[in-house]
Structure 1
């Protein structure tokens, strides 16, 4: 996986599907089923539940300190290049950006329509910015200002150099503004600054508790109508995969949705990354709001109205 940088890849081992554990019949909250699923680590060791794994990995303050220190330490030894931050899969960058742009376009047109005609000064936060790959190839073209958050200093310095005004092909109205060399679990954004907080291939380095804590703090950083975009690797069954080398976890879709619920976030839109190499984890994009999305009322055609209903 990778620390607040780039892609959560399988890095040398093929996908280990998380093995479902037997459901605890005394469990009263169905939404927490995903938290009771088993998983594997990168050595193939099985865990019965996520709680068991977290107890072992970060069960006291010393272990938790080691978890984050070793995670950053892994990425401090990685070359500051596309291939480096993408685990040797630099060629997937174009595909990644293509689908992210389509997802972002839909969000802006639906949620921030005033941005389309330049009536709103747009600001984004790129969490786990790495060398600035996503900011440079996507965000800076859509946002007037982009702030970058990355704890690996040589990645952030590379981003700062590549995003200098003289190296940009965008107008003077679009710029990288702030470069924060801070771990995600320690960062609190400026209140009301951001239209979009983009979190890609980095949240797996946070424990469940710090995941919830981060999004709870980061809500304050959103403007009215602003939202989060989370793009992340997905374990293909209901559990998780622990990467012991870089101290990260790849969660399943149901695991993420349970954490979103704990954060008080609502799913606005979800989309699968297309054209992805089979040997890598699947990838999903989530658009998340702090309020329940308004229902869109559509008028059905007569043809649609006469179709038999599907009973769910």
Structure 2
């Protein structure tokens, strides 16, 4: 991965391999485990609220959801077309936090949503929020499973998901675990299913945050990793409406192969609706 970068202390690295060797070692499982534990430990000290999970930038929530919804609508129409109405849609929300994306977006489009999140008090807040009593779920649109696991230890159920949503969490995975996660998760997609990855984007190379143990990768860095995963970049879109002082945010639709084009009239939906760590 020939992309130079730096960490939040200003130390420069000639490439990502050099940085990962220093931070997590080569084949040193204990050092790697400690790295991940420190990342989860950071978030265990954060309040289980929208402002907390968005690093103090809770005011971007509405723009984030609107941007995600517009992208999701296009992809559901492209990939499923006329079959959409008759399809029992199931999504996986990776790094779900308090269930912000599930509550505000996914439950309006998917019949079932599973959440996976390593920070236990975030997941408990999601469990409390996403109940019929709070009016956020129904018999037709519900949360099915809550998994308290980090992504590098989670293997999704084979053939279960139409969409796997990965937002503001993949930066916690080292490159080898990034690749391993997506390769395992491919088997959990239904035919025609796809990933949506939404992440902060570095202008070039990478920026490693020593405080929460996460990496912000450049667009080129991501594309190199997608290639190593064996994923096809079907479509991408920039998030709009965020303050200028935050990292740029990009959405990627990733498929195992090129989706078949559906011959249909595009459906019009009527739904209304960092520096992020």
| TM-score under structure 1 length normalisation | 0.81
> Is the CA contact (8 Å cut-off) linking 2:103 and 2:136 kept in structure 1?
no
Counterpart CA distance in 2 for 1:165 and 1:55 is 47
> Is the CA contact (8 Å cut-off) linking 2:161 and 2:190 kept in structure 1?
yes
CA apart distance, 1:245 = 0.6
> Is the CA contact (8 Å cut-off) linking 1:37 and 1:49 kept in structure 2?
yes
**5+ residue gaps, structure 2:** 264-277
The 3-state SS of whatever aligns with 1:233 is: strand
Whether 1:38 and 2:4 are equivalent positions in the alignment is yes
CA apart distance, 1:62 = 2.1
How many corresponding residue pairs?
A: 261
Pick aligned residue for 2:133 from 139, 150, 166: 166
CA apart distance, 1:190 = 0.7
Which residue pairs with 1:144 in the alignment?
111
Counterpart CA distance in 2 for 1:120 and 1:296 is 15
Whether 1:70 and 2:24 are equivalent positions in the alignment is no
Q: CA RMSD in A?
A: 1.4
**5+ residue gaps, structure 1:** 1-34, 298-312
The within-5 A match list for 1:84-123 is 84-114=52-82, 116-117=84-85, 119-123=86-90
Counterpart CA distance in 2 for 1:254 and 1:292 is 20
Which residue pairs with 2:271 in the alignment?
none
CA apart distance, 1:116 = 3.8
> Is the CA contact (8 Å cut-off) linking 1:242 and 1:249 kept in structure 2?
yes
Deviations 1:210-241 (A, max 9, x none): 0000000000110000000000000012x000
Say if 1:169 and 1:63 are closer, same or farther in 2 by CA, change over 3 A: closer
Pick aligned residue for 2:229 from 250, 263, 268: 263
Counterpart CA distance in 2 for 1:110 and 1:168 is 30
Counterpart CA distance in 2 for 1:137 and 1:271 is 20
Which aligned segments of 4 or more residues in structure 1 are displaced greater than 4 angstroms?
294-297
Counterpart CA distance in 2 for 1:86 and 1:115 is 35
The 3-state SS of whatever aligns with 2:258 is: coil
Deviations 1:181-231 (A, max 9, x none): 011001011110000000000000000000000000000110000000000
The 3-state SS of whatever aligns with 1:276 is: coil
Pick aligned residue for 2:95 from 110, 128, 134: 128
The 3-state SS of whatever aligns with 2:19 is: helix
Counterpart CA distance in 1 for 2:152 and 2:163 is 18
Counterpart CA distance in 2 for 1:188 and 1:222 is 12
